[in-house]
A and B are shown apart, each in its own frame.
Chain A
Amino acid sequence: MAERERRLTPPRGGVFVPRVQVLSAEDVHRALIRIAHEIVERNHGLEDVVIVGLQTGGVPLAHRIGHVLEEVESTSVAVGMLDVAFYRDDIGIRPVLPEAVTDIPGDLAGQLVVLVDDVLFTGRTVRAALNALADYGRARAVQLAVMVDRGHRELPIRPDYVGKNIPTRIDEQVDVSLDGVVLGDVVPR
């Protein structure tokens, strides 16, 4: 929990106070199974498909999707992870630190990349991720899968696969994990 707490809190303190559970662990699991099937359906199989989870919230989801895909299609799927800290547009505005190391499986040239993240909010993280991906080769296409689309976009970015659309207040926090989705607030320490 400490790690998630840190990630969810504003710089220098604040505690995530959960208010309402929106999705249960089973709901999240079912949504990931559906998303996996949609990925197969949309791409007519899994040829050249690489799943890339965004650090840190997207990584467990990406691995889960990868497992489901392997079961469904009986083939192995490359799963990587990407930390976008060095590509963010708020460097110099607030403390930006890499949360974890990037691990992209091989050259992405010609591959079909499915980015996976927990929450789609302003779209700035995805923008940074698109720039980061470009440094690993020219992917044939990039698709976006998110567990929660909470609205409030600041950039023209839309998801291809959505676990659940959840309208939120801009000051709310959405906590996504394999254990479920919880809405809450961040309260200063």
Chain B
Amino acid sequence: MTGAPAGGSRHLLSVADLGAEGIEEVMRVADAFVEVGRRPIPKVPALRGRTVVTMFAEESTRTRLSFETAARRLSADVVSFQVASSSVKKGESLRDTAETVAAMGADAFVVRHPSAGAPAQVARWVDAAVVNAGDGWHEHPTQALLDCYTIRQVLAERAGGAPSIDCFRGLRVAIVGDVRHSRVARSGVLALAALGASVTLVAPGTLVPSSLEGWPIAGVAHDLDGVLDSIDVCYLLRLQLERGAGAFVPSLREYTAAYGLTARRAARLAEGALVMHPGPMNRGVEIADEVADWPRSVVLRQVANGIAVRMAVLFLLLGHGAGSDPAALMADAAAESADAVDERPGDRR
């Protein structure tokens, strides 16, 4: 029980840092925050006096709003920093920006950047917790966490039991579409596989990453129709038209014809299969209008859960104390466990 999601790390840069145990911890804490969200006053004083900076060098509505709402519901102060992508040429200027904001006092940075690895760089420069909110084609860990959380929640409701990560054992997930340009796919695969799910990538050859080395997947399929009736979760990715994905398919209509979840395809899904999408949806491209609004589609739930999951991540990262060094904390704890009883009677009852 480290209290930090990354097994003692104070950053969340990749879901790979978490492992199954860390992911489970985030989910357990998120359960408590889902309850907070249902209260008349959906706010707790947990992070009072802490400052969370959102630094977004790329367009985003839901992720940014979700993080800011999460921070506010924890009573943290939120500083929103819009990095004009034109002025940030990587390296020095990003560093200057980060260090400047850090100097004003920040306990956590939530970073989105078009370059893979930018959040990891920021983590090296500033003395604060850093959360990767999406970096290039690399990772988007909180999206994967909230997706897994949503699956666990829906399956628990159906089973009528307590939520458990055991529901991922053998769960068959198809991640469909633009895997090549998708940080969501990478984080999703890592998280789902860590939890024991069997993930199949379904995409045209042009939209599969050139190397799948190290991807813990069950396989790659180029035929959506072939997998439809043997999956429990159909996870559709957004065709990233702004990243030039349009050039990787003959035409949007052809893409939809082969890989879009049309109403006809959706009807062939196994009964109870979940339809998920990280948003924003290209309605009529990767997902048909009527399928998006289907009862089995949990897209809006994903958004709602995003707040609770991000609250959990922020709480776990900042709950230790601002600027505490994880290594020192571990050493402290080891030395302290001997006399903790005398030192901090208020800790226990």
Listed in ascending order, the chain A residues whose CB lies under 8 Å from chain B are 6, 8, 10-14, 57, 83, 85-87, 90-98, 100-103, 107, 117-122, 124-125, 131-132, 135-137, 152, 154, 170-171, 173-174, 185-186, 188-189
Given contacts A11-B336, A11-B340, 10 further A-B contacts (CB under 8 A): A11-B337, A12-B333, A12-B334, A12-B337, A57-B349, A86-B315, A95-B319, A96-B3, A97-B28, A170-B345
Instruction: Please give me the residue from chain B that is nearest to A173 by CB atom.
Output: B348
Q: A11-B337, A119-B349, A136-B40 are in contact. Are A86 and B1 (CB under 8 A)?
A: no
B256 CB-CB contact with A under 8 Å: no
Interface pairs (20), CB distance under 8 Å: A10-B336, A11-B1, A12-B1, A12-B2, A86-B45, A86-B74, A86-B315, A90-B346, A93-B344, A94-B347, A98-B29, A102-B32, A103-B35, A119-B349, A122-B345, A125-B349, A135-B39, A135-B40, A188-B337, A188-B338
State which size class the interface on B falls in. 35 or more
Which B328-342 residues have C-beta < 8 A from chain A?
333-334, 336-338, 340-342
B44 CB-CB contact with A under 8 Å: yes
Which B1-17 residues have C-beta < 8 A from chain A?
1-4
Listed in ascending order, the chain B residues whose CB lies under 8 Å from chain A are 1-4, 25, 28-29, 31-32, 35-36, 39-41, 43-47, 74, 315, 318-322, 333-334, 336-338, 340-342, 344-349
| A-side contacts of B25, CB under 8 Å | 97
- Please give the distance in Å from A16's CB to the nearest CB on chain B: 10
A96 vs B76: C-alpha distance in the bound complex, in angstroms? 17
7 smallest beta-carbon distances between A and B, as pairs: A95-B3, A10-B340, A86-B44, A98-B32, A86-B46, A92-B321, A119-B349
- Please give the distance in Å from A49's CB to the nearest CB on chain B: 21
| B-side contacts of A98, CB under 8 Å | 28-29, 31-32
A101 vs B31: C-alpha distance in the bound complex, in angstroms? 7
Contact of A92 among B320, B340, B347, B348 (CB under 8 A): B320
Q: A96-B3, A137-B40 are in contact. Are A121 and B348 (CB under 8 A)?
A: yes
- A101 and B346 within 8 A (CB): no
- B35 and A95 within 8 A (CB): no
Instruction: Please give me the residue from chain A that is nearest to B163 by CB atom.
Output: A101
Contact of A10 among B28, B40, B74, B337 (CB under 8 A): B337
| A-side contacts of B338, CB under 8 Å | 188
Q: A125-B349, A137-B40 are in contact. Are A102 and B344 (CB under 8 A)?
A: no
| B-side contacts of A91, CB under 8 Å | 46-47, 319
| A-side contacts of B4, CB under 8 Å | 95
A6 vs B39: C-alpha distance in the bound complex, in angstroms? 29
- B35 and A121 within 8 A (CB): no
- B1 and A101 within 8 A (CB): no
- A83 and B32 within 8 A (CB): yes
| B-side contacts of A154, CB under 8 Å | 346
- Please give the distance in Å from B343's CB to the nearest CB on chain A: 9
Q: A57-B349, A92-B320, A131-B45 are in contact. Are A11 and B333 (CB under 8 A)?
A: yes
| A-side contacts of B334, CB under 8 Å | 12
- A8 and B340 within 8 A (CB): no
| A-side contacts of B347, CB under 8 Å | 10-11, 90, 94
Contact of A124 among B1, B36, B340, B346 (CB under 8 A): B346
| B-side contacts of A107, CB under 8 Å | 40
